[in-house]
Amino acid sequence: MCSPDNRVFGDCLESETTWRAAVDREIDALGWTAATRIDQPDDDVTIYAIDAIAAQDAIIHPEGPATFSLSVFLDGRGTLSIDGAKPLSVEPGMAVLFTSSGPVRGENRFVAGQRFNVIDLRFEQRFLVKAGGAPLARIGGDLLTEHSRPDQRVTLAGWKAPPALLKTAREILDCKRAHDLSRNLFLYSKAVESLSIVVDTLSRPSGRKSVFKSNDRAKILQAQNLIGSSYHLDWTIAKLARHVGLNERKLKEGFRHVVGNSVHAYLREVRLEAAARLLLDGESVTQAALSVGFESLSHFSKIFAAAKGVSPSRYVR
């Protein structure tokens, strides 16, 4: 059995069934449970407000299932990392976006004696689908590289939070409204506003110099748009490359660099998001699978469950 005395956690974690259990376990391992306020203004939105002092250096190995998290660090320094990717250093005034489509493990480090004042917003997949369902790779572009694992559809990105995001984070932290409809409406609106600010920020050009010529980049984006608008078609690397006028190698390398994912993984992700929307609209599992381009119902059900954490037949229940 792992001992909490040495402040190294995670090596004996059992398989988590929900992201909430994983987060609660991480907070408990840090000894921050009493310093954490949890609000759930809606079934699809959960807010963690943490105001704690790190009593000692801590290294934890969080492990959990698919999730979508937006955090704002008002105080505190440390590092966050995904297994197999470069650690992300966090400091006061930073925003951090973490998303995973399946089980993931990492390592977080926190230094003793510091105050950690953090807002962590968790959005359920249902909310994201209703809001448009755009995968993070489509929003962040080149920003989502060295700290992420696009091959595993896991994203970790950090940047200086804009003033508007810091303002909403402080408003959430300072909320003194009673636990009633007024409080829930206020917190829900601030959570959605925060996500809107982030989407707007990450949708802007990153300003980084691309290793691809502008003409090639335009063709790669054309390929991305083709998949997004015609995901039901039987796209292969060869077909897509011919359609946009790139050789296959440049398309594969460029797509991963610009979009943040491989062509096949991106096509699968877009199809699954489209299928999820159809299921929410009342389509049957068979209709949804065939409409978005899956020929095998069993294959669709298998990868849908792996990505969403629930079978398509139970997705809307």
> Collapsing DSSP states into helix, strand and coil, what is residue 107?
strand
Query: Tokens standing for 129?
Result: 């689908």
At 16 the pLDDT is: 40
Give pTM, 2 decimals.
0.65
At 212 the pLDDT is: 59
At 9 the pLDDT is: 32
Band of pLDDT at residue 11, cut at 50, 70 and 90? very low
CATH classification of 214-314, choosing from 1.10.10.60, 1.10.10.10, 3.40.50.300, 3.40.50.960? 1.10.10.60
- Alpha carbon separation from 14 to 10, 152, 245, 272 (Å, rounded): 9, 21, 49, 28
Backbone phi, then psi, for 24, in 5-degree steps? -60, -35
At 233 the pLDDT is: 92
At 41 the pLDDT is: 93
8-9 vs 58-60, strand pairing mode = parallel
pLDDT digits (tens, 9 = 90+) for 126-161: 787 777 655 544 554 445 567 887 767 788 889 999
> Is pLDDT larger for residue 286 or for residue 261?
286
At 262 the pLDDT is: 85
The yes-or-no verdict on residue 45 having pLDDT over 80 is yes
- The Cα–Cα gap between 91 and 158 comes to 10
| Nearest C-alpha neighbor of 70 from the set 28, 119, 26, 21 | 119
- The Cα–Cα gap between 63 and 22 comes to 7
63-64 vs 104-110, strand pairing mode = antiparallel
* 128 backbone φψ class: left, alpha, beta (φ>0; ψ -120 to 50): alpha
Average pLDDT value over all residues in the chain: 83
Query: Tokens standing for 172?
Result: 């959430």
| Nearest C-alpha neighbor of 51 from the set 69, 67, 72, 22 | 72
Mean pLDDT of 76-91: 90
Mean pLDDT of 73-79: 92
- The Cα–Cα gap between 178 and 184 comes to 9
At 140 the pLDDT is: 46
At 6 the pLDDT is: 33
At 201 the pLDDT is: 79
- Domain definitions of the chain by residue range: 4-203, 214-314
At 5 the pLDDT is: 33
CB 38 within 8 A of CB 48: yes
At 14 the pLDDT is: 36
pLDDT digits (tens, 9 = 90+) for 55-70: 888 888 888 788 889 9
Query: Tokens standing for 86?
Result: 């470069």
Counting residues of the chain whose pLDDT is more than 70, the rounded percentage is 86
Q: Where are the alpha helices (DSSP H) in the chain?
A: 19-30, 125-130, 136-140, 163-173, 181-203, 214-229, 237-244, 248-259, 263-280, 285-292, 297-308
pLDDT digits (tens, 9 = 90+) for 28-38: 888 899 999 99
> Collapsing DSSP states into helix, strand and coil, what is residue 234?
coil
At 17 the pLDDT is: 56
The yes-or-no verdict on residue 46 having pLDDT over 60 is yes
pLDDT digits (tens, 9 = 90+) for 218-259: 898 899 889 988 999 999 999 999 999 999 988 988 888 777
At 168 the pLDDT is: 95
Class of domain 4-203: mainly beta
